[in-house]
Amino acid sequence: MRHSQRLALKTVGRSRRAVSLVVTAAVLLSCGSGCSLFVMAGKMFFGDPTIPSHFHRMVGIDLTDGEHSVLVVTTTPEAIKRDAPAIDLDITERVSRRLKNKGVDLFPSGEVLTWLDDRGGRWDDVDEIARAFETDYIVHCDLRELTFYEENSSDLYRGKVNGSIYCYEVAEENGVYLAQRVFNVEFDSTYPSHRPKLAHQMSERIFREEFVDRVCKQVALTFYDHKLSEEID
């Protein structure tokens, strides 16, 4: 092959690589606030694979197979309840709905919410729930912090949450139903992740709704296998 032809082929190769890099950069840069660049890049090159949930990986059980019933409860400290009195029941209902839509056999959330409401949203321990309901697993979402504004600001929205997610397996022992912890994971989330939203551009009610829904999605993803793209905020 002549020297000039080799140079031409090398030039074409470099051009193609350059175009590929430009396209990749453009797609990544077009990803908005809070979007995972790593997830987007992975989807570009490897498609959108299904990944096992954290619970599935750790416990070895796929809750979407319909063979195990699941009950969801949420707890928050009084400081959160003062700002959002019904947040426990709201998160319980939303997470339950998401899991049910993915094929998880959910214990009717209405019965759980009624039971919790009758007790002022309080219960002593998980064994109390195990005795009250015939379910295989109890998912307990325990929030320690939930805020909706940027720190030291009343004009900027930025939701922050942290807490723990526990799962208990219910088993009968000497005629008594007891709950044994089989899974737990810490979680936290900040939205928007890059910069806060201006309070004068949207109502507080809409922002709260948006953020709480994202929190519930994050909790639910812990328990069902999902597409990688679902993890994009």
Q: How many CB atoms lie within 10 A of CB 127?
A: 17
Section 4-17 average pLDDT: 46
Concatenated DSSP letters for 133-151?
S--SEEEEEEEEEEEEE-T
pLDDT tens profile 124-176:
889 999 999 999 999 999 999 999 999 999 999 999 999 999 999 999 988 89
Query: Is 179 within 8 Å of 170 (Cβ atoms)?
Result: yes
Closest CA to 70 of 37, 108, 21: 108
* pTM of the model as a whole: 0.78
Section 201-208 average pLDDT: 96
Q: What residue has token string 């709950």?
A: 179
CATH no. for 50-231:
3.40.50
DSSP β-ladder status, 176-191 and 105-106: unpaired
Residue 36 pLDDT class (50, 70, 90 cuts): low
Choose the weakest-confidence range: 111-115, 116-120, 207-211.
116-120
pLDDT tens profile 215-233:
999 999 999 999 888 877 5
The secondary structure element, H or E, covering residue 166 is strand 156-173
- The whole-number pLDDT of residue 37 equals 56
pLDDT tens profile 75-85:
999 999 999 98
Residues, the chain, total?
A: 233
pLDDT tens profile 59-99:
999 999 989 999 999 999 999 999 998 899 899 999 999 99
Cα angle: 98, vertex 104, 106; to 5 degrees: 80
Residue 41 pLDDT class (50, 70, 90 cuts): low
pLDDT tens profile 100-113:
999 999 988 788 88
- The whole-number pLDDT of residue 110 equals 83
pLDDT exceeds cutoff 90 at 43: no
